[in-house]
């Protein structure tokens, strides 16, 4: 991170944003021209190499994106479902090979066969209407089950907007310290994977001096298999927006920034409509409810980079810098966006806040199990008989989620990858040992994370899935630390050689590589990848044995 570059980027604020300008420059052809990059470098007083380095990082800005007209999802769920080879063949009847690109992941994991065209996502049987979609630019809404097993905190109907925002009146009648105390009592922990208490994060920002502070909603945690963030932004956007406003009131921030994945175009559109609705109703702006509290929102459209789900890489991205992970300390709450105190939380965490302030921190703490309070959204993929979003009280048996909410599996499944690409690889037989909470997963050697479930059917080779995880990390690494950048590439090569029969895997060498990534990586991308690999080695040793040297 460069403090000087952060200051230079911030001198124009969020209204004239370098990162957004890069996206606009790429809109016509799929990649910004050299002349445009030079113009932006001059305009923002940032070196040409810095601007090129940033633009060339993103899937939807780099030169390879030029001329693409349709994108196929290459996420883990679509991979194990085996739908994408057939999908590409059907698309090739309508598009040239060079016009077909890839995206990861479109959040259509409940039915797979996912693709993006004309700025919209499609999946399932939509490919049969491709000619009509291409011609008329038709929008087709997807459908999936939404189930609640316990207390409806996030899946409850919001109702009319004015009535929903009466919770804001409750908040504004309290002091920031009183609101913060309720959040501390609730025990709400980050739902993106780390499980860090939100009360401590807000308190740190509140206690850091600064006239300008930001609340950033991390809607770029694009774990393949997880579409709970998409559900909230498309169906419960006001819960996210109100949560951001309350967080801003606590720590003295007047601006909320939503950094939303480009792979979720409908979420961007719907959330912006909700912001416009709030502005028209006078619910956001200056002196809200005659309280002296000012607040507004800004949506930043991401450009395709999984690493931007890491909070410091996300902040670099907004600033127009290459989205590399920052060394901490300082932490974002002390020195974040444009070097100002910033709280970054994921979509689901922020969406829980309004319920807590309406019902009380104690009511939220009473739900769940131990230190895992409240509820958790779970994404079930297309291998379930009833795929969709499940809201379950923390502590709910995983086997109940599978059988009761998901209806069981449509075909034989040997493992579930739960919690995103860095989550644990859970053999189906272990489901009876797990409950949906942070502690249960950690004690059993797994990670709850986003609580997304990607199923691996009996006929899908574990070695191929492990290769996929290494390849995913190699592609998405920010490149700043070599354990992640080089380690993931070497792991991919190791698996590829074993699959082709060229060279069998040296177990000691693989163990060394995993240990290096685990303890030497700057962030959870390189540091977290070893977990599912170790799970595979532990639980699928017999299946993997032929690929290892004796």
Q: What is the pLDDT of residue 1?
A: 47
Express each pLDDT in 443-470 by its tens digit. 999 999 999 999 999 999 999 999 999 9
| Mean pLDDT calculated for residue range 198-206 | 97
Express each pLDDT in 70-124 by its tens digit. 999 999 999 999 999 999 999 999 999 999 999 999 999 999 999 999 889 999 9
- Indicate the class that CATH gives domain 462-547: mainly alpha
The topology (CATH level 3) of 146-368 is: Rossmann fold (3.40.50)
> Please, which pLDDT band fits residue 221 given cuts at 50, 70 and 90?
confident
Q: Measured in Å, how far apart are the chain's first and last C-alpha atoms?
A: 45
Per-domain residue ranges of the chain: 3-65, 70-143, 146-368, 462-547
Q: Which of 283-287, 327-331, 346-350 has the lowest mean pLDDT?
A: 327-331
Q: Is the pLDDT of residue 425 over 80?
A: yes
Percentage above 70 pLDDT, the chain = 99
Bridge partners, residue 73, by sequence: 103
Q: What is the pLDDT of residue 192?
A: 83
Q: Average pLDDT, whole number, for the chain? A: 95
User: What pTM value is reported for the model?
Assistant: 0.96
3-state secondary structure 128-188: HHHHHHHHHCCCCCCCCEEEEECCCCCCCCCCCHHHHCHHHHHHHCCCHHHHHHHHHHHCC
Q: What is the pLDDT of residue 103?
A: 92
Q: Which of 254, 353, 352, 233 is nearest to 301 (CA)?
A: 233
Q: What is the pLDDT of residue 2?
A: 63
Express each pLDDT in 98-111 by its tens digit. 999 999 999 999 99
Q: What is the pLDDT of residue 15?
A: 85
Number of residues that make up the chain: 550
């Amino acid at each position: 991170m460069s403090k000087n570059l952060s200051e230079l980027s911030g001198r124009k604020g969020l209204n004239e944003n370098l990162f957004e300008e890069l996206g606009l420059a790429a809109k016509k052809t799929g990649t910004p021209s050299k002349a445009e990059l030079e113009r932006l470098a001059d305009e923002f007083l940032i070196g040409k190499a810095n601007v090129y380095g940033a633009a060339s990082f993103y899937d939807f800005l780099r030169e390879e994106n030029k001329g693409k007209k349709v994108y196929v999802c290459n996420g883990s769920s679509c991979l194990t479902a085996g739908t994408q080879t057939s999908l590409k063949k059907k698309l090739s009847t309508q598009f040239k090979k060079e016009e077909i690109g890839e995206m990861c992941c479109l959040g259509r994991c409940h039915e797979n066969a996912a693709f993006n065209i004309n700025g919209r996502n499609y999946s399932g049987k939509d490919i049969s209407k491709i000619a009509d979609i291409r011609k008329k630019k038709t929008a087709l809404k997807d459908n999936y089950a939404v189930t609640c097993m316990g207390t409806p905190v996030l899946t409850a109907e919001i109702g009319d907007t004015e009535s929903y925002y009466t919770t804001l009146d409750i908040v504004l009648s309290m002091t920031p310290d009183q609101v913060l105390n309720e959040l501390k009592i609730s025990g709400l922990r980050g739902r993106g994977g780390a499980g860090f208490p939100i009360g401590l994060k807000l308190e740190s920002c509140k206690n850091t001096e600064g006239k300008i502070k930001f609340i950033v909603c991390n809607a770029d945690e694009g774990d393949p298999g997880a579409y709970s963030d998409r559900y909230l932004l498309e169906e419960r956007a006001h819960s996210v927006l109100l949560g951001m406003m309350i967080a801003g009131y606590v720590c003295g921030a007047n601006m909320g920034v939503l950094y939303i994945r480009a792979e979720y175009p409908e979420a961007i559109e719907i959330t912006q409509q909700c912001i416009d609705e709030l502005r028209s109703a006078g619910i956001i702006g200056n002196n809200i409810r005659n309280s002296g509290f000012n607040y507004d929102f800004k949506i930043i459209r991401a450009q395709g980079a999984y690493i931007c789900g890491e909070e410091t890489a996300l902040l670099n991205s907004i600033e127009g810098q290459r989205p590399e992970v920052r060394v901490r300390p300082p932490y974002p709450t002390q020195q974040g966006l444009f070097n100002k105190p910033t709280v970054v939380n994921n979509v689901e965490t922020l969406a829980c806040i309004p319920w807590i302030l309406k019902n009380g921190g104690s009511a939220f703490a009473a739900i769940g199990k131990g230190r895992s309070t409240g509820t958790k959204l779970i994404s079930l993929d297309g291998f379930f008989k009833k795929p969709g979003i499940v809201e379950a009280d923390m502590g709910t048996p995983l086997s109940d989620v599978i059988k009761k909410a998901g209806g069981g599996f449509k075909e034989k499944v040997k493992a579930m990858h739960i919690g995103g690409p860095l989550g644990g690889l859970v053999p189906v037989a272990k489901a009876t040992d797990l409950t949906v909470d942070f502690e249960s997963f950690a004690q059993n050697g797994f990670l709850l994370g986003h609580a997304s479930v990607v199923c691996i059917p009996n006929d899908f080779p574990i070695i191929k899935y492990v290769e996929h995880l290494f390849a995913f990390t190699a592609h998405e690494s920010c490149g700043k630390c070599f354990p992640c950048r080089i380690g993931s590439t070497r792991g991919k090569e190791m698996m590829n050689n074993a699959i082709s029969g060229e060279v069998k895997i040296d177990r000691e060498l693989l163990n060394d590589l995993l240990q290096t990534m685990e303890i030497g990586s700057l962030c959870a991308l390189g540091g977290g990848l070893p977990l599912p690999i170790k799970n595979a080695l532990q639980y699928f040793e017999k299946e993997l044995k032929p690929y290892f040297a004796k």
